[in-house]
């Protein structure tokens, strides 16, 4: 980094109508940075505060949370009715909406929402025997929230087991048990995997 | 007048000249020494790469005809603050380890100097960003880094997520292929069995359940039995939620 009173003048240009900043000539890093900047600028334009600056992370604007909650509820309802494909679609919508939150809103909230939604989507995928998609969703869910997400751990373990990837499933469940040692379902799943492995060895 | 007549002015200049020369040379040398040290520190490789976001922001700020609108400048300042957050996290996490290494003599003094310079620079940078923010909107300086740190976190989350979710397609393809091979193997096995057994017993091949008990690895892939049972179990989990 340069010293505090020096900077490198970059060859930036602004489109007067669209207000999009471009560089000429440009490098990949600069182009990426400007793309991010333009996206952020677009988001910042409809932030709705009088000063045009992002509000502090808390309190959160409740509108989007309510919308996400509604989508999740209707997803759950479809799931209960047995329309698993529809439920997956609704959960995906809710996930997109949660990911569409402005980036300056609390990341903890995003993690929480996304992990729950992904876990539900994994569930709906599993109900349709889409084990591969279920496994990926559950993995993502766990990545977002490792502690207190026993269902996520269990779901990916089950999916891997269903796909016959016993070694992976075993490693996964073992890791899960480090976080959720008392979870009965995980313990059972582990036993089941071991049984299957034993059965395979004996084969 | 008495005391001034008695003083030999010419002789008195000698000690004064001595003192002047002495302190003058001390001052000059210390100055040169310090300048050299700073120059040497500056010649060391900087800790961080060029601050792209800062350059973008300042370039925009100095843009003439047309002047850059405030909203873009605010966005650029936020990007700059986000990068600063990442840098300060790096500095904080590196500090302890570096101190220990320095005490043990595992790393050279150069590295420590580079680090300290980076630390000082980042402090300056943070102060500068806060000032700029306050210039845009009153009290924005107090929250800009909160927003920036959430932004850094959020970027990280989205990156990780898209990384994981992008594997879904290949995973799915892999599974489809695998399912197909397992199924065809299974069918072949069934056919073989059928061929071996007498035609009277051929109904056995049709009943999947019977086979399931034989090789429960493959049973999952067959439409009957396994998956339905699993789905029921899955539903039970859901109910608990």
> What are the tokens at B237?
């989990």
Containing domain of residue A119, as a range?
62-201
Contact call for B150 and A3, based on CB within 8 A: no
Within 8 A of A45 by CB-CB distance, chain B residues are 71
Q: Enumerate residues 6+ apart whose C-beta is below 8 A from A78.
A: A84, A86, A87, A90
Please state the domain count of chain B: 1
Least CB–CB distance from A199: residue in B47, B165, B216: B216
What does the pLDDT look like over A46-72, one tens digit per residue? Answer: 777 777 778 887 778 788 889 999 999
In a domain, B200, yes or no: no
If one compares B7 and B233, the residue with the highest pLDDT of the two is B7
In a domain, A9, yes or no: no
In a domain, B240, yes or no: no
In a domain, A143, yes or no: yes
Containing domain of residue B62, as a range?
19-142
Report d(CA B175, CA B80) in Å as an integer.
44
In a domain, B30, yes or no: yes
Q: Is B206 on the interface with A (CB under 8 A)?
A: no
Within 8 A of B50 by CB-CB distance, chain A residues are 1-2, 8
Q: Is B105 on the interface with A (CB under 8 A)?
A: no
Task: Give CA separation, A147 vs A152, B36, B170, B228, in Å.
Answer: 10, 54, 28, 30
Contact call for B231 and A127, based on CB within 8 A: yes
Identify the CA nearest to B53 among candidates B29, B86, B6: B86
Question: Would you say residue A178 has pLDDT above 50?
Answer: yes
Residue of A nearest to B74 (CA): A53
In a domain, A46, yes or no: no
In a domain, B8, yes or no: no
Contact call for B75 and A144, based on CB within 8 A: no
In a domain, B111, yes or no: yes
What does the pLDDT look like over B8-49, one tens digit per residue? Answer: 888 889 999 999 999 999 999 999 999 998 888 777 788 888
What does the pLDDT look like over B106-157, one tens digit per residue? Answer: 888 888 888 988 899 899 999 999 999 999 888 888 888 888 898 889 988 9
Question: Would you say residue B239 has pLDDT above 50?
Answer: no
What is the reported pTM?
A: 0.70
In the prediction, which pLDDT does B14 show? 92
In a domain, B106, yes or no: yes
What does the pLDDT look like over B93-103, one tens digit per residue? Answer: 999 999 999 99
Question: Number of C-alpha atoms within 13 angstroms, CB side, residue A82?
Answer: 3
Neighbour-count burial of B191, counting CB atoms closer than 10 A to its CB (0-12 exposed, 13-18 middle, 19+ buried)? exposed
Please state the domain count of chain A: 1
ipTM value > 0.90: no
In the prediction, which pLDDT does B217 show? 46
In a domain, B77, yes or no: yes
In the prediction, which pLDDT does B131 show? 92
In a domain, A10, yes or no: no
In a domain, B76, yes or no: yes
Contact call for B42 and A30, based on CB within 8 A: no
Contact call for A133 and B168, based on CB within 8 A: yes
In the prediction, which pLDDT does A203 show? 52
Residue of A nearest to B235 (CA): A127
In a domain, A32, yes or no: no
Per DSSP, the residues of B61-80 read HT-TTTTPPHHHHHHHHHHH
């Amino acid at each position: 980094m340069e010293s505090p009173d020096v900077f490198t003048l970059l060859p930036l240009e602004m489109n007067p109508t669209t207000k999009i900043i471009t560089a000429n000539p440009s490098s990949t890093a600069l182009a990426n940075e400007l793309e991010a900047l333009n996206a952020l600028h677009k988001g910042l334009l409809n932030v709705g505060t009088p000063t045009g600056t992002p509000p502090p992370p808390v309190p959160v604007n409740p509108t989007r949370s309510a919308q996400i909650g509604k989508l999740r509820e209707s997803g759950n309802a479809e799931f209960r009715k047995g329309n698993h494909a529809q439920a997956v679609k609704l959960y995906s919508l809710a996930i997109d909406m949660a990911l569409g939150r402005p980036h300056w809103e609390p990341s903890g909230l995003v993690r929480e929402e996304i992990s729950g939604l992904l876990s539900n989507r994994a569930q709906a995928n599993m109900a349709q025997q889409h084990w591969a998609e279920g496994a990926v969703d559950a993995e993502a869910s766990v990545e977002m929230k490792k502690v207190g997400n026993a269902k996520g751990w269990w779901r990916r373990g089950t999916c891997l087991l269903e796909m016959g990837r016993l070694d992976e499933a075993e490693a996964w469940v073992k890791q899960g048990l480090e976080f959720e040692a008392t979870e009965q379902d995980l313990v059972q799943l582990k036993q089941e995997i071991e049984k299957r492995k034993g059965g395979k060895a004996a084969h | 007048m008495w005391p001034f007549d008695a003083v030999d002015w010419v002789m008195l200049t000698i000690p004064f000249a001595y003192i002047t020369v002495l302190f003058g040379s001390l001052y000059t040398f210390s100055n040169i020494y310090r300048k050299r040290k700073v120059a040497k520190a500056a010649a060391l490789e900087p800790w961080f790469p060029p601050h792209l976001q800062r350059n973008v922001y300042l370039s925009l700020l100095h843009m003439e005809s047309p002047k850059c609108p405030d909203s873009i400048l605010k966005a650029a300042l936020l990007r700059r603050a986000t990068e600063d957050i990442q840098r300060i996290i790096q500095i904080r996490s590196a500090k302890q380890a570096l101190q220990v290494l320095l005490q043990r003599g595992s790393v050279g003094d150069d590295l420590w100097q580079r680090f300290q310079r980076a630390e000082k620079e980042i402090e300056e940078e943070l102060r500068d960003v806060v000032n700029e923010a306050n210039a845009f909107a009153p009290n924005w300086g107090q929250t800009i880094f909160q927003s920036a740190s959430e932004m850094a976190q959020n970027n990280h989350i989205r990156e990780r997520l898209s990384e994981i979710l992008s594997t879904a397609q290949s995973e799915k393809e892999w599974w489809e292929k695998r399912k197909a091979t397992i199924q065809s193997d299974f069918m072949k096995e069934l056919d073989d069995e059928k061929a071996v057994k007498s035609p009277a017993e051929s109904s056995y091949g049709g009943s999947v359940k019977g086979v399931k008990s034989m090789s429960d690895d493959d049973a999952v892939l067959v439409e009957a039995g396994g998956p339905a049972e699993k789905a029921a179990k899955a539903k039970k989990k859901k109910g608990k939620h």
